[in-house]
Structure 1
Amino acid sequence: MISQFELSSYQRAVRTLLINPLITESHPDARALPLVRRWADELRDELSRLFGYRLELSATTARLVRVLDRIDGTQRARTATDRLFDRRRYAYLVLTLAALGRGGAQLSLTELADTVAADAGRIDGLGLSTEKPSDRSAFVDAVAWLEARGALRLADGSARRWVDDPNAGEALYDIDRDVVFSVYRPSRVLQHIPSVTSLLKVSTAGSRDTRRQEVGQRARRALVERPVVYFAESDTDVANVLRNGRAVDDVERLTGCTVERRAEGVALLDPSGSFSDRRFPGTGTVAQTALLLIGEIADRLESPDAPEPARMSPPSGRALAAEVDAGLPRAGIFENLADVGETAEASDFEGLECPLLETGWLTASMSRLVERYGSAFAAQWRADPPRLLGAALDLLADLRMVARVEGGVLALPLLARYRNVVFEVRKRKAEPTLFDLLEGTPE
């Protein structure tokens, strides 16, 4: 039993581990690993019992092996400049891990690139040419992702100089093998998987108590994995647990966060903003534009000519699963040992009616926002309103505030939570003109 005096420290360890499933001596910071080690026994027991997760500790890492119940396209890798990884960067990341697994204690960036290029050349449509700046940049983004997590440590040189000119620049890395082996931990042998859905949790038949425990774990996992859990997209058992069960209280006690209950669903709220991979409201042009867009949508929904509600389609992971499956190397699958897996759809969909905001209205609203607040936006976004609108809607969709549909978006219930947010737009400092520079030039 954890005392009330120590509870905040324990909750901080839980939040740190849930938001960073891989913790090393340097990632996310130097304090995280000692904190998790201090509470290792309690964490291992509660995370296994309440979520079905497994905590593994090595000399330099703490690895939380999580369980997936559905295909999720929102928890994506990002570059150091917060750009989303594309397919090429993901491929380079996996090939780099494979190369590091075969390497020694040190490796130069050129040697690593040559090894990855040899493997990439055997994959149709991929390839890696160190003569192409775009390929070098994508490769170094994958290397930097591993470096940020402590799998690689820069011993000498500069990766950025190598990207600019591989003939003039070089970098030497120390390899932490514990971290390398902890980064990639699939729940099943990949040669037994004909579809990515085989990585999902498969329900097992058992006693009534076993089934009740599984439903409770799925409900708690949904609460910590998703920005909001709508009852309409959850199966009946999970929805009932979240409405009436003790699972919600368990998550509140464990994380120190607050669960907000509404008629449409529940959301885990953290006022500190530390228990999320996407803080909202946030800084930057895209996050600020998304907040402004929420205000426009709220005004639209409260107007006399508010749009009629439309029925939200059932959530489906089939399209995303098909896209991932298209890249699977079929020649490496052992068909006689393959797991069938299961789909990522809710078994009982009640339906949710939401207002439809059409594409034309969204485009016009973005034009008004750029005209009114454009001086506060970054120049590259201000010059491309359609791209800014797409990025803002992507953010709101990731946070489950809107759902993209043909012809526009559906306004989901969580969006209403931010409709009355007050914000202050600060204008960016104007760039100096030639005349400004001349005025400051001595005669």
Structure 2
Amino acid sequence: MTPEPADARAAVPDARAHVLDCEHAAEVRRAARALLARPLLLASGPYGDAFRLVRRHSSELREWFDRNTGWALRVDAQSARLVKAPGTLDDATHPAREATRSGAPFTRRRYVLLCLALAALERGEAQIALGRLAEQVLLDAADPELAAAGVEFTLERRDERLDLAAVVRLLLAYGVLRRVAGDEEAYVGGTGDALYDVDRRVLAGLLAARHGPSLITVTSFEERSAALSAETSLDSEELRFRAMRRGLTRRLLDDPVLYYDTLTDAELGYLTRQRAFLTARITELTGLVPEVRAEGIAMVDPDDDLTDLRMPEQGTHGHITLLLAEHLAGAGGELSIDDLKTRVRELADIHGGFWSKTAREPGAEGELVEQALARLVALSLAERTPGGVRARPALGRYAVGEAVITEPGAKKAPAPQHVREEAPR
């Protein structure tokens, strides 16, 4: 029997090692994507498999996120929490939303109630009834400073009870609360109550801040926001470069598009020099692919599951959003809100037969325009201006090109198409 060549025998372990390395890299990628999609994962519930994957690779993930973004990763036996901080503090386009099909954005009062509810739960016991939580929130809401800020909460009106119920449902979705009995609708209607278990570990890890709020002494909202997430003193060139690397990586991961004109000169210079390195590191971990244009960079997701907001293509609101995107892309400059309302009325005459009845009613164009603009601005496809709104460069993909007609038998040139692909993440 002819013996197998030595180099062939050596190749077998190498091939197996390569397969194992590929499997390991794929698992780390799935774990990282799971954390980016849901920064809070619980061992129980629908994302238990993702949690176990994150826990298995927690050391590698913790090191990557700390080095490249400055985000801390906390993992225990029951939960994994990626403590994300935004790349910029002035983006109000991605609010907390109701944990219902409507997904309505949180109002100012709901944010206040959320903070008051978390404070009450921190002081409370392992179980709490919704009525008892409401009493605690009501006492704290009587603070004179809240009243001076125009926040009123009395629980006398149904809409106030609905706001508190929305806060509770969000905490249920986060895993801070687990429903034991009853439901929120009964409480809102005044016919019953609800009882919850409080997961204190999840509650303790919910706050994403570098510094404790009780240690912040400045008073204005902008100063407090900046102080909560402030980096350590950047007193050396190495620390400044590290801060820029982390900030740019956070924005590449989180923002639909990173436009060069939103960067400082120092950030733009650093990104110009380190662009290939930064994008390659992100691609290696997440699978996001860089799309580099003259105006900026978008990290595009081929799997289309890392975005919290998509460009709609179905339903009345989706159709109107796409049509207004096309209109803005071809405008070549700033348009006023009245211009867009007029355009919606014109579109209703053309496409109204396919729209919902409420969208065709007189006066509905104002709300339709605002809903469309909220999505376009959140996707960095448009920006509001003092005079109205104007397109951002990425909106050009929704522009309509001129049709090209060729003679019979001639070689056909590719005609520009109305591209309705989704905005990157």
Matched residue SS, 2:96: coil
1:155 paired to 2:155 = no
Paired residues, what number?
368
For 1:371, give the aligned amino acid: D
Pair 1:59 & 2:59 matched: no
Q: CA contact under 8 A between 2:398 and 2:419: conserved in structure 1?
A: no
> Which residue is 1:277 aligned to?
308
Change (3 A) 1:28 1:282: farther
Q: Is 1:95 matched with 2:116?
A: yes
How many Å separate the matches in 1 of 2:211 and 2:249? 23
For the pair 1:363 / 2:345, whether they are aligned, the reply is no
* Gap regions ≥5 residues in structure 2: 1-17, 400-416, 421-425
Per-residue CA deviations over 1:373-422 (Å, capped at 9, x if unaligned) read 33443444443111110110111111111110122211110101233446
The superposition leaves residues 74-106 of structure 1 with CA deviations (integer Å, 9 ceiling, x where unpaired) of 221001221010011011111111111112121
Q: Would the aligned equivalents of 2:325 and 2:398 in 1 still touch at CA under 8 Å?
A: yes
Unaligned runs of 5+ in 1: 302-306, 308-354, 424-443
- CA distance in 2: counterparts of 1:375 and 1:96, whole angstroms: 46
Q: Which is further off, 239-248 or 114-123? A: 239-248
Is the Cα contact below 8 Å between 2:117 and 2:133 reproduced in 1? yes
| Corresponding position: 1:6 with 2:6 | no
Larger RCO (CA within 8 A; separation ≥ 6): 1
Larger Rg over CA atoms: 2
Aligned to 1:45: 63
Quickly say closer, same or farther: Cα 1:376–1:163, change in 2 above 3 A: farther
| Paired position in structure 2 for 1:132 | 157
Query: Quick check: 1:287 aligned with 2:318?
Result: yes
Q: 2:264 matched to 1:235?
A: yes
Structure-2-length-normalised TM-score: 0.80
State the Cα deviation string for residues 222-277 of structure 1 (Å, max 9, x = none).
10121111111112333234444211111111110111000000011113221111
Worse-superposed segment, 217-226 or 285-294: 285-294
**Distance in 2 of aligned mates of 1:272 and 1:289:** 26
Which deviates more, 84-93 or 22-31?
22-31
Matched, 1:77 2:96: yes
**Does 2:374 correspond to 1:394?**
yes
Q: Distance in 1 between matches of 2:43 and 2:358?
A: 37
| Segment drifting more, 149-158 vs 65-74 | 65-74
Shift of 1:204: 3.7
How far 1:57 moved relative to its partner? 1.4
Q: For 1:63, what is the secondary structure of its paired residue? A: strand
Q: In structure 2, what is the Cα distance between the partners aligned to 1:182 and 1:283?
A: 38
1:282 Cα deviation from its structure 2 partner: 5.2
Cα–Cα, structure 1 residues 422 and 27, in superposed 2: closer, same or farther, change >3 Å?
farther
Residue aligning to 1:116: 137
Question: By how many angstroms is 1:295 displaced?
Answer: 1.8
The percent identity for this pair of structures is 32
Distance 1:132 1:55 in 2: 41
Q: Distance in 2 between matches of 1:26 and 1:100?
A: 21
Match of 1:141 among 155, 158, 166: 166
Alpha-carbon distance in structure 2 between the residues aligned to 1:40 and 1:181: 19
2-side partners of 1:216 and 1:15: how far apart? 20
Question: Cα–Cα, structure 1 residues 379 and 193, in superposed 2: closer, same or farther, change >3 Å?
Answer: farther
Structure-to-structure mapping, 1:422-437, within 5 angstroms = none
Measured in 2, the distance between the counterparts of 1:3 and 1:128 equals: 56
Please give the TM-score of this superposition, normalised by the length of structure 1: 0.77
Q: Could you tell me how far apart the structure 1 residues matched to 2:44 and 2:210 are?
A: 25
Give the Å deviation of 1:294: 1.4
Query: 1:371/1:3 Cα in 2 relative to 1: closer, same or farther (>3 Å)?
Result: farther
The offset of 1:10, in angstroms, is: 1.7
Say whether residues 1:173 and 2:196 are aligned partners: yes
Q: Which residue of 1 aligns with 2:9?
A: none
**Structure 1 residues 3 and 370: alpha-carbon distance in aligned structure 2, compared to 1, 3 A threshold:** farther
